[in-house]
Amino acid sequence: MAAVSSLLFEDQFLCSICLDVFTDPVTTPCGHNFCKACITKHWNTNVPCQCPLCKEQCEIKPELRVNTVLSEMAAQFKQLLLREISSEKPNTNTGEVLCDFCTETKQKALKSCLDCLISYCETHLEPHQRLPALKRHRLINPVENLESRVCKKHGRPLEQFCKTDQVCVCSFCTEAEHKLHRIVFLEEEYKEKKAELGKTEAGVQMMIQERQLKIEEIERSVKLSKENADQETATCMEVYTALIRSVEKSLAQLLDSIMDEHETIKIEAEYLILELEEEISELMMRSTELEQFSNNEDHLDFLQNFMALKSAPPTKDWTTIEVHTSYEGILKTSLAQLEETLSKEMEVLRAEAEIKRGGIKQYWVDVTLDPETAHPKLILSSDGKQVYYGNVCQNVHDTPKRISSYFGVLGKQGFSSGRFYYEVQVEGKTDWVLGVARESIPRKNPGHFWPQNGFWTVSLKDGCEYKALVDIDPIHLDLKSKPQKVGVFVDFEEGLVCFYDVDASSLIHTFTGCNFTETLYPIFSPRKNNAAKNSAPLTILPINHNTNQTDTFPNVLVSGNNEACASGGAAIGL
């Protein structure tokens, strides 16, 4: 290594312009040697035909030809130098760059020279800090594989970047195959690529965050799915348990009916057998009597009594009498009743499941009270969301739409198809009636809140009696808690009206199998004040559940006459 790369030997192959080993060396008339590209560029930018070393000037620009001997020697020197550097580098995993000049114990390199392609320790770096020719060499922090930083074609450092071909090039490359390309220094391209890499890294980090958020979202979905699955499982268990109870109840009733029918048939058969036995006894007595009479040899007596004996005793025609042994009719009737019961039960259970999962609230509608339908003694809030009993008649017109025979008011919104849901606050009240009514309900004549009159309602009376007003015998409702908010859900096509305790998420009552042929309107009856015990209003809750805001009631609804008060409160079920 020392023999090949001695300073004296190396200086003989260095171009004094680029300070690197000759590439295509040429000789000037004064006898000095330079790289062909270096001297050509020098003459193009400086004094033409002047030697950079001795300053001798030619009258005309000489024709420069490559010194083939010197060129071959320079090429051989480069190859020897690179081979010796490769062969003498120790195989170490210390991660440190060692000095290429050290012959015994390798010292840690302080700098690497891009011109010499050698790494130097502090001792061997000294000539580069002292000799003028070596001071111009480019030193960098020590790195491995210096040969990879040299152009394999020209043996020059790769210090520039061709943006056209996206490759690192040396200064000779820029004058040859990359002459017309976009060339920038490595530092400039490094900054640009680093900035681009920074954007890419930021994008990758953003993608990582997005995917981490997606993982969290999926995990939340799985957790929510588990919660929903547990809730749905509980709901399904309740539904199917209720259906099983209905089937078991129907089966028990069917078995009881079969046994009752059997007992009836048995009693009837016993009666028939008794009757038959009595007739047999009579017939046997008759047979004995006939047998005795047939032995009578008194001709006159025989003939005189013959007609009386000939007539048969009174008996039934038993050919038409049968005992039924088939129970097929009972089974058919029971199955038909079970089908009807299960159908109604399914509607109720489906409604209960919907309220538990909150599904019916998607049909929530904004209901307001219609002042033109309100009984004169009812007072409405200005926004049409509250109603209470006012003791005295308001000065209103008695129009065909106005209810005057009971204390009721309809909603403005009518529904003739689909599903709808609304909620009413009943907190603080001891009496009320809520539900839906068809358009043709009686408004001037007393009646009852029954389905046959066009009403599907539930009521509270005396603060404790909850009823479903189905007919003259209402269904008494046994509720576990006292509803503060009542939800009303209607499925027009299915003929379904459901009432819910909103806070308890439980079903109050369901009307099934309703045949709706007219437009339906929500109906509200706050009933009488009952000595101020029932003075609280019925309040229609807004869709946003904002029930904290209350409205101030006006003293008068609309101007008009007082004729509608004549019928007072001949209430339907009030």
Of 388, 409, 394, nearest in space to 532 by CA: 388
Q: Are 519 and 439 in contact (CB under 8 A)?
A: yes
Of 441, 435, 404, 433, nearest in space to 422 by CA: 435
pTM, full prediction: 0.46
Does the pLDDT at position 477 exceed 80? yes
Q: What is the largest CA-CA distance in the chain?
A: 197
Q: Compute the Cα dihedral for 130, 134, 137, 142 and give only its sign.
A: negative
Q: Look at the block and give the residue holding tokens 């929510």.
A: 224
Does the pLDDT at position 75 exceed 80? no
* Adjacent-strand bridge partners of 436: 456, 522
pLDDT digits (tens, 9 = 90+) for 99-155: 888 877 888 888 888 777 788 898 888 888 888 888 888 788 888 877 777 788 887
Q: How confident is the model at residue 83 (pLDDT cuts 50, 70, 90)?
A: low
Cα–Cα distance between 524 and 533 in angstroms, integer? 18
Cα–Cα distance between 407 and 373 in angstroms, integer? 10
The secondary element (H helix, E strand) that includes residue 127 is helix 126-130
Helix (H/G/I), strand (E/B), else coil: 453? helix
Does the pLDDT at position 93 exceed 60? no
pLDDT digits (tens, 9 = 90+) for 51-67: 888 888 887 888 888 88
pLDDT digits (tens, 9 = 90+) for 452-467: 999 999 999 999 999 9
Q: Are 448 and 573 in contact (CB under 8 A)?
A: yes
**The token pair that represents 568 in the structure block:** 């007072």
Cα–Cα distance between 371 and 506 in angstroms, integer? 32
Q: What pLDDT, on the 0 to 100 scale, is given for residue 518? A: 95
Q: Are 466 and 458 in contact (CB under 8 A)?
A: yes
Of 437, 446, 458, 449, nearest in space to 523 by CA: 437
Angle (nearest 5°) at CA 157 between 155 and 163 = 110
Cα–Cα distance between 133 and 229 in angstroms, integer? 83
Q: Are 406 and 446 in contact (CB under 8 A)?
A: yes
**The token pair that represents 122 in the structure block:** 């502090």
What is the rounded end-to-end Cα distance, in angstroms, of the chain? 119
**The token pair that represents 372 in the structure block:** 């033109």
Cα–Cα distance between 264 and 32 in angstroms, integer? 142
Cα–Cα distance between 517 and 312 in angstroms, integer? 68
Q: What pLDDT, on the 0 to 100 scale, is given for residue 475? A: 93
